[in-house]
Amino acid sequence: MNDMMAHHYERSEEYRRVIDAAWGGLRQYDALSDFPFIPVGLFKERELSSTTTPSMVLHSSGTTGQVPSSIVLDHETSMRQSRALVATFGSVLGDRRLPFLAIDTKDVIKATGLTARGAGVLGMMKFGAKATFALDGELEIARETIKQFVENNGKQPFLIFGFTYLVWSKLYQSYSDGELDLSNAILVHSGGWKKLESEKVSNATFRSAFEQRFNLRNIFNFYGFVEQIGSIFLEGPDGLLYPPNFTDVIIRRAGSWQPAEIGEEGVIQVVSLLPLSYPGHSLLTEDKGTIVSVDAKAGGRYGKALKVAGRVAKAELRGCSDVIAASAA
Amino acid sequence: MKSLSDISVFLSDGSDQQITAAELHAKLEDARRHVARPFSQERMEVVAEISRVILKQKAQHSPAVMHFAFFTRAAALRKLASDCHSRLPAQSHARARGLAFHLPPQNVETVFLYSWLLSYLSGNANIVRMPREISPEMRRICNLFIKAAEEAGDRSQLFVYYPSSASDLGQSISAISDARIVWGGDAKIATFASLPLRNGGKSIWFGDRFSLCLLEGDTVLKLDEAEKKSLCHRLFNDIFVFDQMACSSPQVMYVVGNTDRHLEAINDLLETLGEVARERQESPAAGHQIAKMVQSFSSAAAGQSVLVNWRDDRLTTMLASSPERQDHKVGGGFMRVAFLEALDDILPLLKERDQTITYVGFSSESISSVAQDHLGSGVSRWVPVGAALDFDSIWDGYDLPFEFTRLVRTQ
């Protein structure tokens, strides 16, 4: 990590200024939790680059209409990210490219204004073949398309991918128990539980509901974000999220920003050895989470087991500048 | 079509009466005919009595309401009345304009009190479109006025709420109003700009504003512990009340001096300000702490700040790399600090939308002199630190009692 710090400090003038102004300059750090971090939101404000040979700038927003993040990629970082994703998903998908059913519309991967959802679908398409989109332009379920897909591919393992809420509200809620057989499917989903929690659907409820309705048991939730593509926290058999080898997680207490205890909820910081083209190696997210255990070895997994609890609370500031009332003429 | 419940009229017992648009218009036509003499004994007495009630209940009230009560003490009202009277040109008489339509901001809830009060004292009938949510404290004060007006048989004061969806109400109320006071935000002003008033009546606009703070470096250097603490309490009132989002909340601190001589003392002052904020208010939401981190880190990345202190959850500060303006309105305890060699150096930096400059360490003479040297647009108030949010009858360049009346000449 000290090498990563020096790498970005030397190559990105903007990052160097941040480290100098906010972290008292570069030094050698001993503990992982001592390394400077920057908030992910900084990538919405500035295009931070540590490469002289950028191959593309990924613009991606959480949802349509939000300010997009700008992530500078070069060939090497793209390769590192791809290899990381292959290593992570290979463990559950195997080596072959499986038939791929996206619980989304094909409009989500349009070239301009890519959302995090679109970036996720695009990323997962690399692991699938015969990509099929289960939703139409209005995000309604395309029953005939799904029927065809399952008839053609349902006898062998195949991949279903989608945003957690869409998978629940569009796929699960559109069928009755036993109506569709997805027993050979491997369902990979991501995007957060906020909406589902408001409907009292926990991860455990989600899993047992899919098993009962579709006989679908291979389900993997994951946590990741566009500012750190490749560092995917994949769900283990205990329902917790595990980082890959080259990634680590620190939970910090809001306010003091000191590391929290194991079992204590705080703000998630993700440290990764992947990004060389932009200073994304130590990022403070806007998500809350808890490290539930370390090296508990559930299903043979080592490392920190993470539980994600959604976004941190936003402040509603008062003020005379009255945007809400603008429509009140 | 509008349902009955679209318009709520506030009643003195704290309940709301639902009326139709036609009923509201009938009330307003009636109200217009019941104007009073500016600064009439009756209206001054109504206001002064409520001030007495609030001052007696001191312990129950917030500082913002206490300021309002001081502002409306009998003696203060008499002074305001005589000031206004003495400003009248010879052979001129002030008369109420008629019906005034007030659109206070949704979130700085004391504003409506002053806006309404000065128009009421000027003799007008008034309709105030209240914010969607007001605190129980504000509602109680509102009730006191409604009750006093009821008891005086005055039907000309209306406090109403209607939802944004009832958008044609803004238009129809404007059409029967003689004056309209729009507070808050350029977008809101733009919405109302196209809606005509009765007979081309008087429009008063309060748009987006930005405010600054000026410190004299040597003064800060010489503060003892008690003085420093006292100054920090005044700075706290200016910065943290209304989440630093009022138009007159300072967003940038200019220190007259230099970093070699004064930076340490300024950092020490800001540290104490953070401590005062910790004593007086809760930690902001984690999301806002992160938002302040993002903005300050971004400023550093752009080379606009050379030192960022983001570790204090209440107050994030940035030392600017130059005095050039880089305006941030992040709010919730976010302060940019820059140094100036001399007081006059502030002048070329001032902008059209600047409103209030709070100061500490300068004599009122030197402030008056620099204010007089400023010929450009912008800046309508220079007040000591601690008074940023203290409402004044002359606000944003308007002499409000004057604006709320019309002049009658007799020769």
Question: A95 phi and psi, to 5 degrees?
Answer: -85, -25
Distances (CA, A) of A67 to A45, A279, B25, B163: 9, 19, 44, 29
Q: Nearest C-alpha of chain B: how many angstroms from A250?
A: 16
Q: Which of B283, B294, B305 sits opposite A255 (nearest CB)?
A: B283
B195 chain-A contacts, CB cut-off 8 A: 329
Cβ contact, residue pair A39, B293, below 8 Å: yes
Cβ contact, residue pair A317, B331, below 8 Å: yes
Positive or negative: CA dihedral A311, A317, A323, A327: positive
Q: Which of B109, B240, B297, B396 to mutate to test the interface with A (most CBs of A within 10 A)?
A: B297
Pairing of the two strands B99-103 and A233-235: unpaired
Q: Which of A320, A323, A324 to mutate to test the interface with B (most CBs of B within 10 A)?
A: A320
| pLDDT, position A206 | 94
Cβ contact, residue pair B301, A329, below 8 Å: no
Query: Higher confidence at residue A67 or residue B407?
Result: B407
| pLDDT, position A64 | 60
Q: Nearest C-alpha of chain B: how many angstroms from A48?
A: 9
Positive or negative: CA dihedral A105, A109, A110, A114: positive
Average pLDDT over residues B389-394: 91
Q: Which residues pair with B399 in a beta bridge?
A: B394
Q: Nearest C-alpha of chain A: how many angstroms from B107?
A: 5
**Helix axes B74-87 and B111-121, enclosed angle (nearest 10):** 60
Q: Which of B294, B304, B319 to mutate to test the interface with A (most CBs of A within 10 A)?
A: B294
Q: Nearest C-alpha of chain A: how many angstroms from B302?
A: 6
Distances (CA, A) of A75 to A82, A231, A280: 11, 17, 16
Cβ contact, residue pair B286, A254, below 8 Å: yes
State the Cα–Cα distance between residues B66 and B59, nearest whole angstrom: 10
Q: Which of A22, A320, A326 sits opposite B300 (nearest CB)?
A: A22
How far from each other are the two terminal CA atoms of chain A, in whole angstroms? 56
Query: Higher confidence at residue A141 or residue B106?
Result: A141
Q: Tokens representing A319?
A: 């003020």
Q: Is B376 helix (H, G, I), strand (E, B) or coil?
A: coil
State whether residue A67 sits within 8 Å of chain B by CB: no
How far from each other are the two terminal CA atoms of chain B, in whole angstroms? 52
Specify the CATH architecture of the domain B210-384: 3-Layer(aba) Sandwich (3.40)
**How many H-runs (helices) and E-runs (strands) does chain A carry?**
9, 14
Q: Which of A8, A253, A317 to mutate to test the interface with B (most CBs of B within 10 A)?
A: A317
Q: Which of B101, B298, B312, B316 to mutate to test the interface with A (most CBs of A within 10 A)?
A: B298
State the Cα–Cα distance between residues A124 and A135, nearest whole angstrom: 17
| Interface contacts (A, B; CB < 8 Å) | 168
| pLDDT, position A116 | 76
A278 chain-B contacts, CB cut-off 8 A: none
Instruction: Please give the biggest Cα pair distance in chain B.
Output: 68
Q: Is B297 exposed, middle or buried (0-12, 13-18, 19+ CB in 10 A)?
A: buried
Q: Which of B108, B192, B301 sits opposite A14 (nearest CB)?
A: B301
Q: Which of B246, B284, B308 sits opposite A21 (nearest CB)?
A: B308
Q: Tokens representing A317?
A: 């500031």
Query: Higher confidence at residue B234 or residue B208?
Result: B234
State whether residue A268 sits within 8 Å of chain B by CB: no
Residues 6+ apart with CB under 8 A from A214: A175, A180, A181, A182, A183, A185
- Spell out the per-residue pLDDT of chain A, length 329, in tens: 999 999 999 999 999 999 999 999 999 999 999 999 999 999 999 999 999 998 888 887 666 667 888 999 999 999 999 899 889 998 888 888 999 999 999 888 876 667 778 878 888 888 888 899 999 988 899 999 999 999 999 999 999 999 999 999 999 999 999 999 999 999 999 987 778 888 889 899 999 999 999 999 999 999 988 898 889 999 988 889 999 989 999 999 999 999 999 999 999 999 999 999 999 999 999 999 999 999 877 666 778 999 998 888 876 665 555 443 333 33
| B3 C-beta neighbours (distance < 10 Å), count | 9
Q: Do A39 and B290 meet the contact criterion of CB atoms below 8 Å apart?
A: yes
A34 chain-B contacts, CB cut-off 8 A: none
User: Tokens 């709010």 — which residue?
Assistant: B331
Q: Apex CA B217: angle with CA B213 and CA B222, to 5°? A: 120
pLDDT at B358 over 70: yes
Pairing of the two strands B250-256 and B381-384: unpaired
Query: What's chain B's length in residues?
Result: 411
Q: Tokens representing A269?
A: 């910081």
pLDDT at B222 over 50: yes
B183 chain-A contacts, CB cut-off 8 A: 320, 322
Closest residue on chain B to A288 (Cα): B286
Residues 6+ apart with CB under 8 A from B102: B112, B115, B116, B119, B126, B127, B128, B129, B180, B181, B183
Decide which of 3.40.50.12780, 3.30.70.20, 3.40.50.720, 3.40.50.2300 is the CATH code for A2-311: 3.40.50.12780
State whether residue A323 sits within 8 Å of chain B by CB: yes
B164 chain-A contacts, CB cut-off 8 A: 324-325, 327-328
Q: Do A250 and A259 meet the contact criterion of CB atoms below 8 Å apart?
A: yes
Give B194's DSSP letter. Answer: T
Region for A299 from its dihedrals, namely left if φ exceeds 0, alpha if ψ lies in -120 to 50, beta otherwise = left
Region for A135 from its dihedrals, namely left if φ exceeds 0, alpha if ψ lies in -120 to 50, beta otherwise = beta
Pairing of the two strands A304-311 and B7-10: unpaired
Per-residue pLDDT of B36-80, as tens digits, reads: 999 999 999 999 999 999 999 888 888 888 889 999 999 999 999
Torsion from C-alpha of B317, B320, B321, B324, nearest 10 degrees: 170
Cβ contact, residue pair B294, A322, below 8 Å: no
Q: Tokens representing A56?
A: 């593309």
Q: Do B35 and B125 meet the contact criterion of CB atoms below 8 Å apart?
A: yes
Q: Do A156 and A179 meet the contact criterion of CB atoms below 8 Å apart?
A: no
State the Cα–Cα distance between residues B187 and A101, nearest whole angstrom: 45
Domain boundaries, chain B: 4-207+398-409, 210-384
A288 chain-B contacts, CB cut-off 8 A: 286
Q: Tokens representing A81?
A: 């990210």
Closest by Cα among B57, B31, B54, B234 to B120: B31
Burial code of A279-294, b = ≥16 C-beta within 10 A, e = fewer? Answer: bbbbbbbbbbbbbbbe
Residues of chain B with pLDDT > 70, as a percent, come to 98
pTM of the full structure: 0.89
Distances (CA, A) of A29 to A1, A277, B209: 9, 22, 44
Q: DSSP assignment of B393-411, as one string?
A: SEETTEEHHHHTEEEEE--
Q: Tokens representing B91?
A: 């052979």
| pLDDT, position A192 | 78
pLDDT at B288 over 60: yes
Strands (E), chain A: 38-39, 54-60, 69-74, 98-103, 128-133, 158-163, 185-190, 218-223, 233-235, 241-242, 247-252, 266-272, 282-294, 304-311
Q: Which of B190, B290, B318 sits opposite A39 (nearest CB)?
A: B290
Give A170's DSSP letter. Answer: I
- Rounded to the nearest integer, the mean pLDDT of chain B is 93
pLDDT at B4 over 70: no
Q: Spell out the long-range contacts of B133-139 with Cβ–Cβ below 8 A and sequence spacing 24 or more.
A: B133/B106, B134/B109, B135/B109, B137/B60, B137/B61, B137/B62, B137/B65, B138/B65, B138/B109, B138/B110, B138/B113, B139/B10, B139/B14
A2-31 residues touching B, CB cutoff 8 A: 14-15, 17-18, 20-22
Closest by Cα among A277, A303, A276, A283 to A3: A276
| pLDDT, position A28 | 95
**Helix axes B259-280 and B225-240, enclosed angle (nearest 10):** 70
Closest by Cα among A223, A218, A190, A231 to A82: A231
Region for A35 from its dihedrals, namely left if φ exceeds 0, alpha if ψ lies in -120 to 50, beta otherwise = beta
A50-59, A265-274, B219-228, B317-326: lowest mean pLDDT where?
A50-59
SS (H, E, C) B65-98: HHHHHHHCCHHHHHHHHHHHHHHCCCCEEEEECC
In CATH, the number for domain B4-207+398-409 is 3.40.605.10
Pairing of the two strands B210-216 and B250-256: parallel
